[in-house]
């Protein structure tokens, strides 16, 4: 099986290095890798954040393992050349519309959460985030108003088919878990969200066994901190899902813990931590590699049919945490490589 390995920028390189060691230990030569530049690194070497060679490797691979992109040196480039366009381009070009972002409390980490232990311990939710539409991909630009003032704009829109295909993923994953689906929108203000809610309600007729609820996104942000244990599957749009998943990570304990899968209609996938390139700690050996290691486990389970190997990695991570392994984000002193070694020891 061929893996496209795209470390990207900043801590992306550091967390992918540890993840590769774990994959080598678990899968050996059953996996082969083609590594390519992406993001700011690709822009600096080749003049584009998502060079055609990188996209071609991603297309022919069985799965993509992605670190992170983002480089402060590139923040003043025109938008289409910025590192972030690489991940947006991969999601769009490969039709990766379904972003699964699980947030599960580790009992070993309830004291590292920003929430009280009894609240943090109850977290076991899955954010199903739409990834190919919304305000991310609408028309955008800068223009002058009639009064001559600068104006920026980004069009938010969803059509009913886009909503229906992600809503089905929400219903199906809820059905396979605890049977509860909460659709998060802003239907009290946005037409985009009114259509979202209407389509979700129409589809719910096909899933009478799933308990459906609706919540406005502002309330959802509050409820995630008040009582995250109430959520099973949360289905939402691209922007709301982006924000809520960073928030959910801190309920579990750290942004350095949450993995993700971005899937197309045939479960071909890109796997990446939910965090970014963390320029503030890049190159210092401080990054927590667990989000990426857990993303690799999701890759084995969802795209490569290696569920037993995925289980082994997840169990090793839990045991490493139970044994006290802590990087700085979790209040400890371990370096990135030491956390990788703590997981390797448990395999």
**DSSP 8-state assignment for residue 334:** B
Among the listed residues 136, 158, 271, 302, the single catalytic one is 136
Q: How many CB atoms lie within 10 A of CB 44?
A: 15
Q: Rg of the chain's alpha carbons, rounded to an integer?
A: 20
Question: What whole-number distance in Å separates Cα of residue 186 and Cα of residue 326?
Answer: 38
247 is in an annotated binding site: no
Measured from the CB of residue 274, what is the shortest distance to ligand IPM in angstroms?
A: 5
The residues near 192 (Cβ < 8 Å, ≥ 6 apart) are 134, 156, 157, 158, 237
Measured from the CB of residue 67, what is the shortest distance to ligand NAD in angstroms?
A: 7
Q: Applying CB under 6 A, does 14 fall inside the site for ligand IPM? A: no
Measured from the CB of residue 335, what is the shortest distance to ligand NAD in angstroms?
A: 11
Among residues 6, 27, 63, 88, which is the contact residue for ligand IPM, using CB under 6 A?
88
Between 238 and 336, name the residue whose CB sits nearer to ligand IPM. Answer: 238
Question: What whole-number distance in Å separates Cα of residue 198 and Cα of residue 162?
Answer: 13
SS3 state at 169: helix
264 carries an active-site annotation: no
136 carries an active-site annotation: yes
140 carries an active-site annotation: no
218 carries an active-site annotation: yes
88 makes contact, choosing from ligand IPM, Mn ion, ligand NAD, none, with CB < 5 to 8 Å by partner type, with: ligand IPM
The residues near 286 (Cβ < 8 Å, ≥ 6 apart) are 327, 328, 329, 335, 336
143 beta partners: 151
Among the listed residues 44, 246, 264, 319, the single catalytic one is 246
Q: Tokens in use for 91?
A: 């999601």
186 carries an active-site annotation: yes
Measured from the CB of residue 181, what is the shortest distance to ligand NAD in angstroms?
A: 25
Stretch that binds ligand NAD, among 56-64, 88-96, 131-139, 278-286 (CB under 6 A): 278-286
- String of contacts with ligand IPM for each residue 217-246, x by CB under 6 A: -------------------------x----
Helices (H) and strands (E) in the chain, counts: 12, 12
Question: What whole-number distance in Å separates Cα of residue 208 and Cα of residue 205?
Answer: 6
Q: Applying CB under 5 A, does 242 fall inside the site for Mn ion? A: yes
Please report how many Cα atoms fall inside a 13 Å half-sphere around the Cα of residue 246, on the Cβ side: 7
Catalytic sites, residue numbers: 136, 186, 218, 242, 246
Binding residues for substrate: 91, 101, 129, 218
- The footprint of ligand IPM (CB under 6 A) covers 84, 87-88, 242, 274, 276
């Amino acid at each position: 099986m061929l893996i496209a390995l795209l470390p990207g920028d900043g801590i992306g390189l550091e967390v992918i290095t540890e993840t590769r060691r774990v994959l080598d230990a678990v899968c050996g030569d059953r996996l082969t890798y083609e590594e390519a530049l992406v993001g700011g690194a690709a822009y600096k070497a080749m003049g584009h954040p998502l060079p055609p060679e990188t996209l071609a490797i991603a297309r022919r691979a069985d799965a993509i393992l992605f670190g992170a992109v983002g480089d402060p040196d590139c923040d003043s480039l025109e938008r289409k050349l910025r590192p972030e366009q690489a991940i947006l381009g991969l999601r769009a070009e490969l039709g990766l519309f379904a972003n699964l972002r699980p947030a599960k409390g580790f009992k070993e980490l309830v004291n590292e959460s920003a929430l009280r232990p009894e609240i943090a311990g109850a977290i076991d939710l899955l954010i199903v985030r739409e990834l190919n539409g919304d305000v991310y991909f609408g028309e955008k630009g800068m223009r002058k108003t009639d009064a001559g003032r600068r104006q920026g704009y980004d069009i938010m829109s969803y059509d009913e088919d886009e909503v229906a295909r992600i809503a089905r993923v929400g219903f199906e994953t809820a059905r396979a878990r605890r049977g509860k689906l909460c659709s998060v929108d802003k239907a009290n203000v946005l037409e985009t969200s009114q259509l979202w809610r209407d389509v979700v309600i129409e589809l719910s007729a096909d899933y009478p066994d799933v308990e459906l609820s609706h919540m406005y996104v502002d309330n959802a942000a509050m409820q995630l901190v008040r009582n995250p244990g109430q959520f099973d599957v949360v289905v939402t749009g691209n922007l709301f899902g982006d924000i809520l998943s960073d928030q959910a990570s801190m309920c579990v304990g750290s942004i350095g813990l949450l993995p993700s899968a971005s899937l197309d209609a045939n479960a071909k996938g890109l796997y990446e931590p939910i965090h970014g390139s963390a320029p503030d700690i890049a190159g210092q050996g401080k990054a927590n590699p667990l989000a990426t290691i857990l993303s690799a486990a999701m890759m084995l389970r969802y795209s490569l049919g290696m569920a037993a190997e995925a289980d082994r990695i997840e169990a090793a991570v839990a045991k490493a945490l139970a044994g006290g392994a802590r990087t700085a984000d979790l209040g400890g002193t371990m370096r990135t490589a030491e956390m990788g070694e703590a997981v390797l020891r448990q395999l």
